[in-house]
């Protein structure tokens, strides 16, 4: 058995109101050139359910005609190297490890460096030089659950880090549903999960993954000359709504459970439309989305680590009881649905 002993979360340094960032987008994306996109943005402004987002970038990058629009991939990568190191240091101020760590998993899809984030943790936490290291990249928002599944199969004690600096990849062109949506949703943050085989808050019970056939073109995250370019097809929420229930029921049947027996839902808040699609597909009550909506409102979508922000809120909930069941759900390129079943110890 493997247990989640502790969850640590940390946002990037600079906090922005969603209204500030949307004003920046409106002023820097020449929306007046496309009436259809202008109308879509007005709708988006009213319906993100986000109040704040965090960035590793200071306010100079979010002024009119800032250099953020024209940064090269190399320039964004340098900001990732600096920003990830600062964010790890901020996170580790909370961390107090009592056990020796044998395994280290790091997850990121918003920048790449070698030596990577794993070596930053080894240095700052003075970890054993013989530690086993695993790096997961290029999987997007569901990678946190993928990493958790990997951790469930590793012996002894594991640290799992998800770190994403999504705000580095603001793109002013082309003006599209994808660029407007991604620019309006994503923020920066990190989560560190401590796991062991003896005790913890949650037991990792089981995992499942489902790939939706013929959907490769619906979502992607591609490296180009000006950083990563996000494509998010407008059909994604409908595809999740149409396919999630079957995939989840098949998973739960193997655990002799059904949807109505799940006590808590840690759903990756990929956006309000995604959460609404999950609710409709599974016929969940409004309170099932409480913790995911709270994270979306406070932080936006921070990609791979966001589901752990949600799980941490569930962990801090006074109504959580021994043996309560928790489902983790996240979605990403593929289209892929990642699922995990946890139980409160």
Residue 25 has pLDDT above 80, yes or no: yes
Quote the pLDDT of residue 66.
84
Residue 163 has pLDDT above 90, yes or no: yes
Mean pLDDT of all residues in 34-63: 93
Domain identity same for 138 and 262:
no
Quote the pLDDT of residue 245.
98
Domain that holds residue 99: 3-196
Domain identity same for 133 and 38:
yes
Quote the pLDDT of residue 34.
82
Quote the pLDDT of residue 67.
87
Written as one string, the DSSP assignment of 198-244 is S--SEEEEEEEEEEPTT-TTSEEEEEETTEEEEEE-TTHHHHHHHHH
Residue 115 has pLDDT above 90, yes or no: yes
Residue 4 main-chain phi, psi, to 5 deg: -85, 115
Residue 33 has pLDDT above 80, yes or no: no
Residue 189 main-chain phi, psi, to 5 deg: -175, 170
Band (30; pLDDT cuts 50, 70, 90): confident
Domain identity same for 128 and 29:
yes
pTM of the model as a whole = 0.97
- 215-256, pLDDT tens digit by residue? 999 998 998 999 998 989 999 999 999 999 999 999 999 999
Q: What Å distances lie between residue 336 and 94, 188, 201, 310, CA to CA?
A: 33, 22, 27, 20
What's the whole-number average pLDDT of the chain? 95
Band (1; pLDDT cuts 50, 70, 90): very high
**For residue 138, what is the DSSP state?**
S
- 264-279, pLDDT tens digit by residue? 999 999 999 999 999 9
Band (37; pLDDT cuts 50, 70, 90): confident
- 64-109, pLDDT tens digit by residue? 878 888 999 999 999 999 999 999 999 999 999 878 999 999 999 9
CA distance 177 to 175: 7
Quote the pLDDT of residue 60.
94
Residue 145 sits at the vertex; the CA angle it makes with 131 and 52, to the nearest 5 degrees, is 105
Query: The domain that contains 36 carries what CATH number?
Result: 3.40.47.10
Mean pLDDT of all residues in 320-333: 97
Token pair in block for residue 38: 């202008």
**Higher-confidence residue: 28 or 343?**
343
Domain identity same for 127 and 215:
no
Of 152, 177, 196, which closes a domain?
Answer: 196
Residue 35 main-chain phi, psi, to 5 deg: -60, -40
**For residue 301, what is the DSSP state?**
B
Stretch among 70-74, 159-163, 279-283 having the lowest mean pLDDT = 70-74
* 28 C-beta neighbours (distance < 10 Å), count: 18
Domain identity same for 273 and 222:
yes
Residue 179 has pLDDT above 80, yes or no: yes
Query: Pairing relation of β-strands 336-344 and 52-55?
Result: unpaired
**What is the domain count for the chain?**
2
Domain identity same for 53 and 161:
yes
Beta-bridge partners for 329? 267, 339
CA distance 139 to 161: 14
Q: Which residues contact 119 (CB under 8 A, 6 or more apart)?
A: none
Residue 42 has pLDDT above 80, yes or no: yes
Q: Where are the alpha helices (DSSP H) in the chain?
A: 18-28, 35-47, 73-92, 117-125, 143-152, 177-185, 236-253, 272-282, 290-299, 306-315
Closest by Cα among 275, 249, 302, 280 to 107: 302
Stretch among 20-34, 38-52, 128-142 having the lowest mean pLDDT = 20-34
Domain identity same for 176 and 231:
no
Domain identity same for 41 and 158:
yes
Domain identity same for 40 and 183:
yes
């Amino acid at each position: 058995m493997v247990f989640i002993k502790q969850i640590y979360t940390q946002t990037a340094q600079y906090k922005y109101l969603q209204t500030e960032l949307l004003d920046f987008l409106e002023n820097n994306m020449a929306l007046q050139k496309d009436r259809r996109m202008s109308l879509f943005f007005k709708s988006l402004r009213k319906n993100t359910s986000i109040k704040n987002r965090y960035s590793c970038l200071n306010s100079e990058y979010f002024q009119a005609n800032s250099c953020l629009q024209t940064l090269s991939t190399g320039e964004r990568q340098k900001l990732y190297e600096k920003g990830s190191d600062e964010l790890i240091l901020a996170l580790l101020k909370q961390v107090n490890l009592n056990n020796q760590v044998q395994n280290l998993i790091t997850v990121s899809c918003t920048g790449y460096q070698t030596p990577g984030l794993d070596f930053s943790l080894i240095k700052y936490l003075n970890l054993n030089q013989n530690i086993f290291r695993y790096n997961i990249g290029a999987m997007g928002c569901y990678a946190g659950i993928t990493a958790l599944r990997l951790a469930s199969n590793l012996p002894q004690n594991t640290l799992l880090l998800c770190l994403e600096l999504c705000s580095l990849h603001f793109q002013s062109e082309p003006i599209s549903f994808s660029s407007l949506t991604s620019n309006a949703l994503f923020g920066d943050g990190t989560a560190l999960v401590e796991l062991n085989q003896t005790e913890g808050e949650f037991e990792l019970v089981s995992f499942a993954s489902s790939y939706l056939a013929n959907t490769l073109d619906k979502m992607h995250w591609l490296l180009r000359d000006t950083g990563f370019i996000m494509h998010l097809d407008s059909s994604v929420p409908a595809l999740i709504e149409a396919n999630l229930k079957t995939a989840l029921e098949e998973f739960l049947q193997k655990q002799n459970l059904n949807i109505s027996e799940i006590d808590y839902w840690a759903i990756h808040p990929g956006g309000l439309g995604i959460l609404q699609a999950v609710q409709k597909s599974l016929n969940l009550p409004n309170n099932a989305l409480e913790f995911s909506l709270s994270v979306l409102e406070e932080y936006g979508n921070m990609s791979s680590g966001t589901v752990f922000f949600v799980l941490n809120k569930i962990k801090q909930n006074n109504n959580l009881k021994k043996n309560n069941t928790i489902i983790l759900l996240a979605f990403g390129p593929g289209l892929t649905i990642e699922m995990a079943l946890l139980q409160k110890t």
